[in-house]
Amino acid sequence: MPMIDRRTFLASVTAVAVTAPSFGWALNNTQAKSLVGHLVDEINTVISSGKSESAMIREFESIFKRYSDTSYIAAYAMGVDGRRASAAQKKAFSKAFTSYIARKYGKQFRSFAGGRLEVQDVKKVKSFYQVRTMAFLPSQSPFEVDFHVSDRSGKDLFFNLHVEGINMLLTEREEVGAMLDKRKGNIDKMIADLSKAG
């Protein structure tokens, strides 16, 4: 069975925004850890389900929508180009980007069969909570995966993901920017192509 390396796994977990949001301290350690605990449980269930690739991707998309701050994530991925996008374009991009992430990275989880994520601990960092998990992949050394959680949206959601100092959304933002450059800045064409990518 093909294995995935650390970089591919980083991509697979979904990815997310970068800057730390500001919010009130209604969220606490227990709630942040609980959120990631449920997220990890669902990811582990899907990767061990033995379902078809298409079924797994649908489930990963649903998980991503439930547990992440999709509006914040999509806005960050779009970057400065979001300033010139219409409300309709931003909405269409957010929908396309969420599905793109699920398709692109959900496919990789089929190679993660036999692996798992485990929640380790949580701590407050500046204006958010960092929940540390460990990834255990077959025939590889365990490595750390950090979820950053806030309630900036009014709900407890993760907005960032770090693995050994690497931030996944930075890569996605670069890719979205490259897609726009290739299409001479045409947002509608980028969204249409993003809907088919991954």
Work out the percent of the chain whose per-residue pLDDT is above 70.
85
Domains and their CATH numbers in the chain: 6-194 (3.10.450.710)
Query: Partners of 117 in the beta sheet?
Result: 135
Rounded CA-CA distance 53/58 in Å is 9
Copy the structure tokens of residue 34: 């609980």
Query: Tokens 């990767």, residue?
Result: 47
Give the C-alpha separation, 20 to 175, whole Å.
22
pLDDT (tens digit per residue) in 124-150: 998 899 999 998 988 888 989 899 999
pLDDT at 47: 86
More confident position, 105 or 117: 117
Q: Are strands 116-125 and 143-150 parallel, antiparallel or unpaired?
A: unpaired
Question: Which two tokens mark 153?
Answer: 């949206």
Token pair belonging to 104: 């692109």
What contacts 71, CB < 8 A, 6 or more positions away? 94, 153
